[in-house]
Amino acid sequence: MRRVSTEFLIVSFLVVAAAAATVASGVNVTYDHRALVIDGKRRVLVSGSIHYPRSTPDMWPGLIQKSKEGGLDVIETYVFWNLHEPVKNQYEFEGRKDLVKFVKLVADAGLYVHLRIGPYVCAEWNYGGFPLWLHFIPGIVLRTDNEPYKAEMKRFTAKIVSMMKEENLYASQGGPIILSQIENEYGNIDKDYGPAAQTYIKWAASMATSLDTGVPWVMCQQKDAPDPIIDTCNGFYCDGYTPNSNNKPTMWTENWTGWFLSFGGAVPYRPVEDIAFSVARFYQRGGTFQNYYMYHGGTNFGRSTGGPFIATSYDYDAPLDEYGAPRQPKWGHLKELHKAIKLCEDAMVATDPTTTSLGNNLEASVYKTSSTCAAFLANVDTKNDATVTFNGNSYRLPAWSVSILPDCKNVAFNTAKINSMATIRRFVAKKNGNELIASEEISSDWSYVSEPIGISSNNAFKKPGLVEQINTTADQSDYLWYSISAESEGDESQTVLHVKSLGHVLHLFVNGQLAGSAIGNANNPTVSKDIPITLKPGINKLDLLSLTVGLKNYGAFFDTTGAGITGPVELEGLKNGSTIDLSSMRWTYQVGLKGEGLGLHTGGSSLWVSGVPKSQPLTWYKTSFDAPSGDDPIAIDLSGMGKGELWVNGESIGRYWPAYIAPNSGCSDCSYKGSYNSNKCLKGCGKPSQKLYHVPRSWLKSSGNVMVLFEEISGDPTKISFTTQVLQSLCSHVSESHPSSIESWSQEKSRRKRKQEPKVSLECPHPNQVISSIKFASFGTPQGQCGNFRHGECKSDNALSILQNACLGFKTCSVGVSTVTFGDPCVNVVKSLAVEASCE
């Protein structure tokens, strides 16, 4: 045992004590024109959004750790007012709502937090995050210079700030929170609020800074943000953004990594080459803080979706998928980008960039001081690759790409050249030998309760004329019954009921039978439909069930947007050719369903009857099941169902709607080159917008779990199956012209004369797995993508055996992409190595 001197122990104690004192007293967070300044040091920061209620507490540590491993410095989250204060002055902060726990977990991982209090958040969240009770406060007008609203906004904002202070979570107290946000994208719509918008923004800024958090506040999309508030950019690209003061840094609070999914729409995605291009361009042109919205999107559990028509999945094509797994190559390519940018940090914080033209659509930006130099070379042409000369050296720049040179000489990273491996993940029910089985019936033991059609509650009420739905239900339920009787004289007759509604969905029942439905969509939630009906002689009962699918969350005065059947409702084509307007007659109304009032979602009640009627509207179904074995993420495949909501052990998985099919057109091959928009890259045309629904494992027991569904339209619950997410393949496709791996790049190595060769690297993501097979390997001119690689005209004969020897039985492997390794199957041709492997 080595002896330790008394002097060494004393010095060590003093160092530890000083560090503890620093943490206790916190650090100073300020800013200047270049960057956020943390403890006296400018920082280049990479951030990512993770919304705590869109995952479960047991997922949080893994999501945060994978974010850190992906190269993030900061986790950004909104605070959801309606989640925490569903009833005025009644607060909820447990489970998925435990904001303090989430922030502390981020701190435990050594990351910072950007807390976006809002308290308007948009976020495709129901009512933009506002609690609906705000709507009923007399005289209130949201998001403007209105005293009732400002009083409530200040009260909630102060509540959240106070909670954070009590737990010492601001950086000024030694905590992780280095930024806070007030309001949200108000500048996009403030003109609609007139002069009051300006006084409101000034008040909001003053109110926020008066709360004395000790860290800067930001306003996104607010070019007139008052000092000292930092105005920030949101969008697919923000490299042209400049703040409203020369004393403020250039910050990007939302770089949209994909787009949200709507029921009835195809699935949007955004190529990682384009995301990397946008990020590199932002840092190239002087930005120092960039946030991915989303880094993990997650799931809209319960009735939390906004829109309307936002789907339950909020995957967002984010670097971490809905279930928390890295989406490759997106996660890995961005991780390498972050490392390349960090290699440039010293130069970037020391000075402003100097940008020069290298030709048409070509430019170089250089950060240079007497001791350091970093350069970004950009080709913003959407079609043509280019060769440029910079500092006497020649560089090949693919179209729509940026090369990063941390030493102004050697390329560490190019946004269009992906070294990171790709993965294919699939949802399967079980593995039988080597065969993946697509589905497996959950249970054969079902019971059901038929929901009464029309009025069944003692709380029903009558009123002349048609009522607006949100004012009537206060969003306590998606459902509102409109019921009326109509008398028909003589024989049975065919007629048409014309119905017009603000949305979002309606079902018409005539004498207890479903006669027709009308459905809006994300672009136009209103519905207008002529439904043919048959009237029997005498009294006919007409029951209209109106549904909301999430409340609007964006736009000027979005909170005043109504829903429900506001008319007209008319019987047309009667025998005498007349039309009867039912709109102003006396209707009977019922808020919600009988099953909701009875709490059927928990699986309790003595009303359940054994059996499983199929293709029947307005039916509650219940079964019990055992949890799928293992620890892989779980999704339930609801392909056999129509539309409704699902609960597991009383927890709402969310709304389901596999019957809403995406349009057949609009999906095609998508190039990363050129400006991205939310309709550019789509997949899943002609298929259900969402058929798989996340079931968190923490909500399950090993056995005896209870599942309840409420089906509105028609479904067959025996076709429901549980699936688990498994890794099907690892892939990589790297050319000789790729930069060497960022893992092996360093300032010292960059000075060597011999260029480091690029490598194909594979790694099984699960701790106990190894590479079990090489499905494909080709060195030469291979074609295709992961899952469908094929040989090109040029190929070596030894690629498969070399990959098998290097990789089989190992968790990780790397193989150099060069003729030294594989020989030269085609001289004077740039060659590449494509590999597909599997893990067990």
Q: Is the pLDDT of residue 366 over 50?
A: yes
Distances from the Cα of 193 to the Cα of 16, 97, 201, angstroms: 55, 32, 11
Mean pLDDT (whole number) for 448-470: 97
Q: Is the pLDDT of residue 6 over 60?
A: no
The pLDDT assigned to 322 comes to: 98
Q: How much is the mean pLDDT over the chain?
A: 94
Q: Is the pLDDT of residue 796 over 70?
A: yes
Instruction: Report the percent of the chain where pLDDT is more than 90.
Output: 91
The pLDDT assigned to 491 comes to: 86
Q: Is the pLDDT of residue 760 over 60?
A: yes
Mean pLDDT (whole number) for 151-160: 98
Q: Is the pLDDT of residue 178 over 60?
A: yes
Instruction: Report the percent of the chain where pLDDT is more than 70.
Output: 94
Read off the pLDDT of residues 417-456 as tens digits, 9 standing for 90 and up: 999 999 999 999 853 333 444 444 577 799 999 999 999 9
H/E element, 161: helix 147-166
> Which structure tokens are listed for 587?
């209707």
Q: Is the pLDDT of residue 196 over 60?
A: yes
Identity of the highest mean pLDDT range in 400-409, 488-497, 567-576: 400-409
Read off the pLDDT of residues 604-624 as tens digits, 9 standing for 90 and up: 999 999 999 999 999 999 999
In the numeric block, the tokens 């074609």 are attached to: 783
Q: Which residues are catalytic?
A: 185, 254
| 257-271, 375-389, 440-454, 557-571: least confident range | 440-454
Supply the pTM of this predicted model.
0.95
Mean pLDDT (whole number) for 625-654: 96
Mean pLDDT (whole number) for 316-321: 98
Backbone angles phi, psi at 60, to 5 degrees: -55, -50
The pLDDT assigned to 11 comes to: 39
Q: Which residue has the higher pLDDT, 437 or 535?
A: 535
Q: pLDDT grade, residue 4 (50/70/90)?
A: very low
> Which structure tokens are listed for 54?
């869109």
CA distance 229 to 636: 45
The pLDDT assigned to 250 comes to: 98
Distances from the Cα of 370 to the Cα of 12, 367, 492, angstroms: 36, 11, 94
Q: Among residues 247, 85, 59, which one has the least CA distance to residue 157?
A: 85
Distances from the Cα of 623 to the Cα of 301, 594, 724, 769, angstroms: 20, 20, 19, 35
Q: Is the pLDDT of residue 566 over 60?
A: yes
The pLDDT assigned to 441 comes to: 59
DSSP string, 581-605: E-TTSEEEEEES-HHHHTTGGGT-S
The pLDDT assigned to 755 comes to: 64
In the numeric block, the tokens 């509540």 are attached to: 159
